[in-house]
Amino acid sequence: MTQYVATKNVSVELRRRLKAEFPGAKFSVRTGTRTGSAWISVSWTDGPDTEAVSRIAAPLHGAHWDGQTDSYVQTNNEVTVTVDGQTITGKPLVDGINTHRDFSDDVLAEAKTLWSAAFDGADPDTDGGMRGTALVGGKYLPDTWAPNQVRFIAQEIVAPKRWKAAEAAAKTSAKTAAKPRRKTSAEADPAAGIEVTYTPEAGVTATGTTFGDGAAPILRTHGFDWSRKAAHWYAKGTQGEQSGAGLLAAHTAVQALRTAGIAVTADLPELPADTALPTTQPATQAEDIEEDDVPEDFAGIVLRHTRAGGTLAECTARGDGSAKILKGRRFRWSRNLGCWYLPHSRDRAADRFTLNALAEALREAGHAVHITVREDVARSFGEAEADREQRADDRAERFSYRADRAAGASKAALAEARRIGSAIPFGQPVLVGHHSEKRHRAALDRIDSNMRKGIDEGNRAEHWADRADAAAHYEQHRKDPARTLRRLKELEATLRGLEKLLAGEPAFGSSWDITKPENVAELTRRHSETADEITHWREVIAKAEADGLKLWSRADFTKGDYARSRRRWYEVLRVNGVSVTVPGGPDIQPVIDRNTRAYSWDDRIPYDDITGRMSAEDMAARLAVKD
């Protein structure tokens, strides 16, 4: 049976080969979408010439386009790739690989200088008409327009010279020194320690941290978060604030860092003289060192779960074989935490099945494993919800930046395609056998490559813009009054069921043995968490009422009134405890009553889905005006 290799896996292999063959050059290797999903686009700036890159890409073609038969012709190429740790050899599902080489402003500027010297100081931007040949750098320029001659100089003279020098420098650098390990902060200096400062614009920030210095969990515990854009830690909600809980937490974080033996320089607003800093860690800390059951001399992998911190896999090392096992159980690596984590495990009970299966797999691979679960280390629902809203704001900002960047790349690629096309006379065919054939075909390839890039980047910009919009409306969606009221009903039903279980009665289709202390502890914990969540959402509804929200009930309606729901009016046939009974009918007309109903049965609309009320007299007057 013929084995095939997916386009995305071939793309990864092509990127690996280009990196190995051309160290120092940066390539963008993208897989196409939709009808171009079997195509790969490679673009780079300066670096090696197009022919060198094409030689690397040629063995990865699974097919090529035959213009005479107007069809794809399969090749006999085979490629060996590694997918999820397994080596696969097969035919690549790649119909073609587009290559596009750009030139930096420095290269083009040098090319313009050489062109001006060859043409008596003329400016190619202003005197850019048709030019004859000239000898530049030992090569004769083609008879063409000045911008094309400048690009020829950049491609054949300037860029090769710079790439040759870059290759020599890369070889020398590789022999003399190894690449230093990247630091967490651009300003990090272990000898200088960590600097915690306050400015009204940025609030409290912490710079100078490095990977593995132990500062990350302490800062995160005290309300700090990592800013990838600014490359430093920041305390949430401290911008423009010179007093309050945020600054108190910052002073406490400085104290905790110094207690942990980390050098800290602090420049923070002074607290009132009678302010006492807490001497113990807050209850939301993911690790309670005093009551941790991990042996002091344990040297293996620790699987740790707390409600506040989620499920973490700590003390792994690069190359120890644990990464493949953790990825196979949905764990991801966090640069901020410096360890592996299980997504969506915070504020939830430990997934014992996953923890035990992971521990068994790690032990079979030769690792020592210790599992520690602390369900009592938790944060309030309000704190968790505030953290989710803050992360949604961060996502909105991050996705907006990506959308703007992709939109800019799309605009630049399409502009480049138009620029190249403007140099070809309209309707000019390729002159086969003419000296211009090679340049003409290369220009057409560049136009095609830029057009594809422009479309792909445009689709990417649209994708990130949609995600940014969704993140920006996260809080509005979560606190929608109708949705919140329905959520409260479900939570109150859950609370009643937990109370039944604690009383020894069955609920939710099952029963718990309350003679076991661990069952009582878990039910009590769930009851407390549910009550805390109910309190939070009731406060949200109370705030909405204070802002003018109307909560409808049976006291607001009588038989014959009209209730508005989802932009349509329904006649009230009966008033119930939690809903009103209305005529059944398709939602294709603005008013549905006994006369306009299409079906014989009745429907019910809960009060939390009602957004307006109108009396029978007012509705009759309204309909009369429309008639």
Q: Give the pLDDT means over successive 10-residue stretches in the chain (627 positions).
A: 80 90 88 82 91 90 77 84 80 88 89 86 79 83 85 90 83 55 49 80 83 74 75 76 68 83 83 62 39 74 90 89 92 88 91 92 92 87 88 89 92 93 89 90 93 94 93 89 90 92 89 88 89 91 88 91 90 92 79 82 89 90 78
| DSSP annotation of 156 | I
- Coil, strand or helix at 383: helix
pLDDT of residue 290: 41
- C-beta of residue 196 within 8 angstroms of C-beta of residue 252: no
Q: At what angle do helices 7-21 and 50-57 cross, to 10 degrees?
A: 130
DSSP string, 570-596: EE-SEE-SSEEEEE---TTSSEE-TTT
pLDDT of residue 191: 56
- Coil, strand or helix at 62: coil
CA distances from 17 to 13, 162, 169 (A): 6, 22, 20
pLDDT of residue 453: 94
Residue 141's identity, in one-letter code, is L
* β partners of residue 43: 28, 100
The tokens describing 396, both together, are: 């909105």
pLDDT of residue 299: 82
- Distance between CA 447 and CA 430 in Å, rounded? 14
pLDDT of residue 212: 62
Query: CB-based contacts of 125: which residues, under 8 Å, 6+ apart?
Result: 112
Residues in the chain: 627
pLDDT of residue 289: 37
Q: What is the pLDDT of residues 538-595, one digit of tens each?
A: 999 999 888 888 888 889 999 999 999 888 899 999 999 889 999 986 667 788 888 8
pLDDT of residue 242: 54
The b-or-e profile of 147-179 (16+ CB within 10 A means b, else e) is: bbbbbbbbbbbbbeebbeebbeeeeeeeeeeee
Q: Which of 37, 92, 41, 36 lies closest to 63 in space, CA to CA?
A: 92
Global pTM? 0.51
